[in-house]
Amino acid sequence: EAGVAQSPRYKIIEKRQSVAFWCNPISGHATLYWYQQILGQGPKLLIQFQNNGVVDDSQLPKDRFSAERLKGVDSTLKIQPAKLEDSAVYLCASSTRLSNYGYTFGSGTRLTVV
């Protein structure tokens, strides 16, 4: 099966600019997650979708981050305006109960804010 697709792979922006990341999960996976991985740390959950509804966004900095999953398939994560501390790898993952737990991760988008 095809994996989780993310784009772009790399992005460099100046602080206060906006940026968007795209994720296409594995076909049929109802649950989609966005994680933020700062250098030297483990991934941290930002938001979880079940189909096109938000299940948990308690750790999403909503003053600058937003995410949507229209039609319950692809998802976009946006940052506006970006801060230096947003420099990180943004990972998308998807899962289904049929996969007997465990996520499949994409390769991530590496964001550098200068």
Task: Show the site string, 11-50: x = touches other proteins by CB under 8 A, - = not.
Answer: --------------------x-x------xxxxxx--x--
Q: Is 104 a binder of other proteins (CB under 8 A)? A: yes
- Tell the smallest beta-carbon distance from residue 110 to other proteins (Å): 8
User: Does residue 112 belong to the site contacting other proteins (CB under 8 A)?
Assistant: no
Q: What is Dmax (Cα atoms) for the chain?
A: 42
The least distance separating other proteins from the CB of residue 4, rounded to whole angstroms, comes to 8
Residue 75 tokens read as: 């998802």
Q: How many CA atoms lie within 13 A of 32 on its CB side?
A: 31
Q: Per CB under 8 A, which region of 12-20, 22-30, 63-71, 89-97 contacts other proteins?
A: 89-97
Q: Which residues of 72-102 are buried (b: 16+ CB within 10 A; e: fewer)?
A: ebebebebeebeeebbbbbbbbbbbeeeeee
C-alpha span between 105 and 34 (Å, rounded) = 10
Q: Does residue 94 interact with other proteins by CB under 8 A?
A: no
- Name the residues that contact other proteins, by CB under 8 A: 4, 31, 33, 40-45, 48, 55-56, 91, 93, 95, 100-108
